[in-house]
């Protein structure tokens, strides 16, 4: 016997065990897309099978990806809370891979799940639709599942918060064997940017020079520098922005509305300059600045003055001055306060109406005005709220691992990732930042890893922390993950609440969250299916007749 079960896109289905059946409709807003899953539960082997979806124009526009499993040996720390699913086999459903649904096979006793995406089309009428999935074995229908899809009458408002995950450009070279910023790179990059936009990302890290992130002190990562710099005379520099502007134009064409420049000083202390390559007077490309450069040396400050003047003029010319953010140094602590602030005070007057952005969880680092975005950990947001810090921004990185804080580890339920959108709406957060869109390196970037085998940066981070897409070696692009889709669902819920605010006011939207039990950063429901029920009630609140 073979069964076919419709499952929410907000739930994980493991290789064995219970399958949580979808109990609510799925809601498609004009101009967007919606997801669900189909799980094949076989008691017997199947080899000549197919999966088909019918139900009018909604079904004809659907696409399918197979849910693949990846290992996570570091499932969580010993201090983790009870809102995890720790598997004895350390295998977790995550990667969404291309496959042919007309040629399927699988063993008995092991679930196989397919992730289905329905994109809106003008031919899909507003209202209720029934989609029918049929599973064929040897040409005969052996199992069916039905899904109710409701097309809503009006689109969601634009996303008003900023979402960024850092792209790691050395990963493109190491995983796909392309030269950076070539035609082949941009073919590849389009796929990665497409999936970034799918999860709500609208800001992109620009590798003006090689970003000084996650690098061993004294070590180097693969060079990823867009900007062509020449030393015309000792201490005098010229800057060619042609490649940079090509990169920016490509990113904007693929949905990126905001830019962030890499840190001008090294991570965890702002003590040195990042690796910056410069052509000397004879045209030879050399590392001009790096670990041997004091951050506040007159030589480096003179270079930065010239660079920032030229960069500011270029950003104004292409209309991106006010949508660009500058990093000083990532994650300084209080022992490094004076050094960090000295670097920040040097940069501040040189960037015009652009903004500043850094992960700084200690309240002492909080920005002084609306153009200084200090991004605090989800574990310290309460301090920033109490102090009235605006704009309010947050991030998570490696933790916190307990207390029901949102995160995106492989061993967490997907709803724990998606709840971020509800919480960002509740606290009117301006920005969320994460350090790893595609960090396919070991800890401190000592070596590249295979993300299908190693999901924890060689045992340093909890599985899933370092990336939410996988390299698609066969398709020359990226494969998304369930966790990326969960992040996108969180942003969709944020926009649904924004639509409720437009109709009934912000107080009504906050009261809705209170009634649903989403009352804080650690206080929200955790039972199976809670997010689908909340979504259904929110959709009914928006359109009672839908």
What domains, with CATH codes, occur in the chain? Answer: 2-156 (2.60.40.10), 162-225+237-270+296-413+423-473 (3.20.20)
Describe the crossing of helices 530-542 and 506-515 by its angle, rounded to 10 degrees. Answer: 150
The number of helix segments (H) and strand segments (E) in the chain equals 11, 24
Per-residue model confidence as pLDDT tens for the chain (546 residues) = 899 999 999 999 999 999 999 999 999 999 999 999 999 999 889 999 999 999 999 999 899 999 999 999 999 888 899 999 999 999 999 999 999 999 999 988 899 999 999 999 999 999 999 999 999 999 999 999 999 999 999 999 999 999 999 999 999 999 999 999 999 999 999 999 999 999 999 999 999 999 999 999 999 999 999 999 999 999 999 999 999 999 999 999 999 999 999 999 999 889 999 999 999 988 899 999 999 999 999 999 999 999 999 999 999 999 999 999 999 999 999 999 999 999 999 999 999 999 999 999 999 999 888 999 999 999 999 999 999 999 999 999 998 999 999 999 999 999 999 999 999 999 999 999 999 999 999 999 999 999 999 999 999 999 999 999 999 999 999 999 999 999 999 999 999 999 999 999 999 999 999 999 999 999 999 999 999 999 999 999 999 987
Q: Strands (DSSP E) along 169-220, which ranges? A: 203-205
pLDDT, residue 367, reads 87
Q: Are strands 104-106 and 46-54 parallel, antiparallel or unpaired?
A: antiparallel
Buried b (16+ CB within 10 A) or exposed e, 361-372: bbeebbbeeebb
158/498 Cα distance (integer angstroms): 9
Q: pTM for this structure?
A: 0.97
Please provide residue 65's backbone torsions phi and psi, each rounded to the nearest 5 degrees: -135, 145
127/344 Cα distance (integer angstroms): 53
pLDDT tens, 181-203?
Answer: 999 999 999 999 999 999 999 99
pLDDT, residue 400, reads 92
CB-CB contact of 351 with 308 (8 Å) = yes
User: What is the rounded (10 degree) CA torsion for 217, 410, 417, 432?
Assistant: 10
pLDDT, residue 368, reads 83
CA distances from 33 to 96, 255, 500 (A): 16, 16, 19
SS3 per-residue string spanning 231-270: EEECCEEEEECHHHHHHHHHHHHCCCCEEEECCCCCCCCC
Could you tell me the two tokens for 524?
Answer: 């929200």
């Amino acid at each position: 016997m073979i069964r076919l079960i419709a499952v929410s896109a907000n739930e994980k289905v493991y290789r064995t065990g219970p399958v949580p059946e979808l109990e609510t409709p799925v809601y498609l807003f004009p101009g967007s897309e919606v997801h669900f899953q189909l799980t094949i539960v076989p008691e017997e082997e199947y080899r000549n099978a197919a999966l088909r979806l019918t139900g009018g124009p909604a079904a004809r526009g659907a696409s399918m990806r197979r849910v693949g499993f990846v290992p996570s040996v570091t499932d969580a720390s010993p201090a983790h809370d009870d809102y995890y699913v720790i598997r004895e086999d350390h295998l977790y459903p995550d990667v969404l891979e291309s496959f042919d649904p007309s040629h399927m096979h699988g063993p008995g006793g092991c679930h196989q799940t397919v992730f289905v995406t329905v994109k809106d089309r003008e031919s899909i009428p507003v209202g209720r639709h029934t989609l029918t999935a049929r599973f064929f074995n040897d040409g005969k229908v052996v199992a069916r599942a039905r899904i109710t899809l409701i097309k809503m009458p009006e689109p969601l408002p634009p996303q008003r918060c900023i979402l960024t995950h850092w792209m790691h450009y050395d990963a493109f070279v190491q995983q796909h064997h392309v030269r950076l910023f070539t035609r082949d790179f941009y073919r590849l990059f389009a796929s990665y940017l497409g999936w970034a936009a799918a999860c709500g990302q609208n800001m992109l890290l620009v590798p003006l020079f090689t970003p000084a992130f996650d690098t061993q002190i004294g070590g180097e990562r693969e060079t990823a520098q867009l900007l062509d710099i020449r030393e015309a005379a000792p201490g005098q520099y010229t800057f060619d922005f042609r490649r940079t502007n090509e990169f920016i134009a490509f990113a904007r064409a693929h949905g990126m509305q905001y830019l962030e420049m890499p840190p001008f000083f090294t991570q965890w202390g702002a003590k040195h300059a990042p690796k910056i390559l410069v052509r000397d007077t004879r045209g030879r490309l050399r590392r001009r600045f790096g670990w041997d450069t004091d951050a506040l040396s007159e030589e480096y400050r003179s270079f930065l003055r010239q660079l920032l003047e030229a960069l500011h003029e270029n950003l104004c010319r292409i209309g991106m001055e006010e949508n660009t953010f500058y990093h000083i140094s990532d994650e300084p602590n209080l022992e490094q306060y004076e050094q960090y602030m000295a670097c920040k005070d040097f940069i501040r007057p040189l960037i015009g109406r652009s903004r500043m952005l850094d992960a700084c969880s200690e309240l002492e680092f909080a920005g002084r005005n609306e153009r200084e975005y200090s991004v605090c950990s989800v574990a310290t947001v309460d301090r920033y709220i109490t102090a009235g810090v605006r704009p309010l921004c947050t991030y998570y990185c490696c933790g916190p691992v307990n207390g029901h804080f949102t995160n995106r580890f492989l061993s967490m339920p997907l709803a724990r990732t998606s709840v971020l959108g509800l919480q960002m709406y509740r606290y009117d957060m301006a920005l969320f930042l994460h350090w790893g869109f595609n960090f396919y390196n070991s800890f401190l970037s000592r070596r590249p890893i295979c993300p299908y085998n190693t999901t924890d940066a060689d045992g340093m981070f909890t599985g899933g922390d370092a990336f939410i897409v996988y390299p698609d070696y066969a398709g020359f692009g990226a494969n998304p993950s369930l966790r990326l889709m969960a992040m996108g669902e969180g942003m969709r819920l944020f926009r649904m609440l924004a639509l409720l605010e437009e109709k009934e006011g912000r107080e009504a939207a906050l009261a809705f969250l209170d009634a649903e039990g989403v009352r804080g950063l650690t206080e929200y429901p955790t039972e199976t299916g809670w997010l689908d029920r909340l979504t259904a009630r929110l959709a009914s609140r928006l359109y009672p007749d839908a």
